[in-house]
């Protein structure tokens, strides 16, 4: 261990309690004194007691165990352990982060809770089987997007897609997109930019892990009220309920009849504030505004004959067309 000047004793004590202790791993005074001795700042017990008292006065939750052997540990921290556990689980499962980024962020999460907790967090990453992105630009992309939002400026970027042979190809023949970035949204294990492309009067979605070479533009961001029903910000609850699979689409009010056993699945996806009516004979009807898109139709058709579109008639016809096309593909319906 490096040798430190004696004036660093209090900071070293705090570092030791932060990294080496928690409620299950308190450290005895003898162990603390040994650590300080190895750091070249040996001290008497009274001096360490005074340091602990000063740290407590400064707001650090240093707790002494009540048993005879006695021991000290750092209790409450800037982030509660349960909060860090949730974050670590989310990071290990996040497909839009590279494995390297995930490991580094989980390491940082675990450090304030001591080595035992940090080791457990790292083990979670080792056991994770999530397919991770290979796009090393992910942090760069997010940083540039956030800076553009703060500055009220548009961004430009390239956007790629995978080909059947697993190679990458930039869309629009490699031409840059120019977009007004409004918000970042985590949706079904992917991270999306919700933005507007100038020539369209609606919102578009871009996977952040498929963006490349993000740059700030000199052009001012387009007001969100010009391209959506939102004025100063996006209502995430409302937006999440209306968008399926991050496909864009025209916002429509629809009426759909579901079998009663689908109530949980319907409310989980559409929310509890939707209008419910005509509850009878094992069915119930909902009225809700959604963006009609391929994503919405896919969600609806997984329920088979347990969901029926009642209105509008145009949507009902779209469903019929989808069923007929599937029938032709599988040879059930004739051309």
pLDDT (tens digit per residue) in 60-97:
888 888 766 678 888 877 677 777 777 777 777 777 77
CB 103 within 8 A of CB 127: no
* Exposure string for 156-172, b = 16+ CB within 10 A, e = fewer: bbbbbeeeeeeeeeeee
Peptide bond into 136 cis (omega under 30): no
Q: Are residues 102 and 177 in the same domain?
A: no
Residue in the structure block whose two tokens are 């500055």: 151
Q: pTM of the full predicted structure?
A: 0.59
At residue 35, the pLDDT reads 87
Q: Are residues 262 and 230 in the same domain?
A: no
- Nearest in space to 138 (alpha carbons), one of 182, 73, 91, 177: 91
Q: Are residues 229 and 259 in the same domain?
A: no
Q: Are residues 147 and 221 in the same domain?
A: yes
- Number of Cβ within 10 Å of residue 313's Cβ equals 9
**Residue 240 falls within a domain, yes or no?**
no
Could you report the per-residue pLDDT of 18-50, keeping only the tens digit for each? Answer: 888 877 788 898 898 988 888 888 788 888 889
Last residue of a domain, one of 29, 55, 74: 74
Q: Are residues 89 and 104 in the same domain?
A: yes
Last residue of a domain, one of 33, 57, 74: 74
Q: Are residues 22 and 91 in the same domain?
A: no
- Nearest in space to 243 (alpha carbons), one of 285, 284, 197, 183: 183
| Contacts with 235 (C-beta within 8 Å, 6 or more apart), sequence order | none
281 token code pair: 């004979």
4 token code pair: 């430190």
CB 87 within 8 A of CB 109: yes
At residue 1, the pLDDT reads 55
Host domain of residue 205: 138-234
| pLDDT-flagged residues of the chain (< 70) | 1-3, 67-69, 78, 124-131, 164-166, 236-237, 240-248, 333-335
Q: Are residues 163 and 195 in the same domain?
A: yes
**Residue 243 falls within a domain, yes or no?**
no
Q: Are residues 267 and 220 in the same domain?
A: no
At residue 157, the pLDDT reads 95
Q: What is the CATH number of the domain that holds 21?
A: 1.10.10.10
Q: Are residues 10 and 40 in the same domain?
A: yes
Q: What is the 3-state secondary structure (H, E, C) of the chain?
A: CCCCCHHHHHHHHHHHHHHHCCCCCCECHHHHHHHHHHCCCCCCHHHHHHHHHHHHHCCCCEEECCCCCCCEEECCCCCCHHHHHHHHHHHHHCCCCCHHHHHHHHHHHHHHHCHHHHHHHHHHHHHCCCCCCCCCCHHHHHHHHHHHHHHCEEEEEEEEEECCCCCEEEHHHHCCEEEEEEEEEEECCEEEEEEEECCCCCCEEEEHHHEEEEEEEEEECCCHHHCCCCCCCCCHHHHHHHCCCCCCCEEEEEEEEEEHHHHHHHHHHHCCCCEEEEEECCEEEEEEEEEECHHHHHHHHCCHHHEEEEECHHHHHHHHHHHHHHHHHCCCCCC
Q: What is the CATH number of the domain that holds 255?
A: 3.30.70.240
At residue 283, the pLDDT reads 92
User: Residue 201 class from Cβ within 10 Å (0-12 exposed, 13-18 middle, 19+ buried)?
Assistant: exposed
């Amino acid at each position: 261990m490096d040798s430190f000047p004696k004036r660093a004793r209090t900071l070293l004590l705090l570092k030791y309690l932060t990294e080496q202790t928690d409620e299950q791993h308190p450290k005895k005074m003898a162990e603390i004194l040994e650590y300080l001795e190895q750091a070249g700042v040996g001290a008497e017990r009274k001096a360490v007691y005074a340091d602990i008292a000063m740290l407590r006065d400064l707001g650090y939750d240093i707790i002494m165990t009540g048993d005879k052997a006695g021991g000290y540990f750092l209790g409450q921290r800037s982030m509660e352990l349960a909060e860090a556990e949730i974050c670590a689980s989310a990071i290990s499962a996040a497909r839009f982060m590279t494995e390297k980024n995930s490991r580094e962020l989980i390491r940082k999460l675990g450090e304030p809770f001591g080595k035992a907790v940090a080791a457990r967090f790292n083990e979670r990453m080792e056991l994770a089987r999530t397919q991770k992105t290979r796009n090393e630009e992910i942090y760069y992309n997010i940083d540039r997007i956030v800076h553009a939002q703060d500055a009220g400026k548009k961004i430009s970027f390239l956007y790629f897609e995978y080909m059947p042979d697993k190679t990458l190809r930039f869309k629009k023949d490699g031409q840059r997109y120019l977009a007004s970035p409004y918000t970042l949204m985590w949706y079904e294990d992917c991270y999306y930019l919700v933005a507007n492309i100038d020539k369209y009067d609606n919102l578009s979605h871009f996977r952040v892990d498929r963006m490349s070479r993000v740059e700030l533009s000199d052009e001012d961001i387009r007001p969100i009220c010009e391209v959506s029903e939102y004025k100063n910000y996006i209502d995430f609850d409302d937006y999440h309920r209306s968008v399926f699979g991050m496909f864009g689409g025209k916002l429509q009010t629809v009426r759909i009849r579901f079998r009663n056993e689908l109530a949980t699945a319907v409310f989980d996806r559409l929310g509890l504030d939707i209008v419910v009516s005509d509850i009878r004979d094992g069915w119930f009807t909902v009225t809700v505004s959604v963006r009609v898109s391929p994503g919405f139709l896919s969600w609806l058709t997984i329920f088979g004959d347990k969901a029926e579109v009642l209105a509008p008639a145009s949507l009902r016809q779209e469903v019929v067309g989808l069923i007929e096309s599937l029938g032709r593909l599988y040879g059930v319906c004739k051309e």
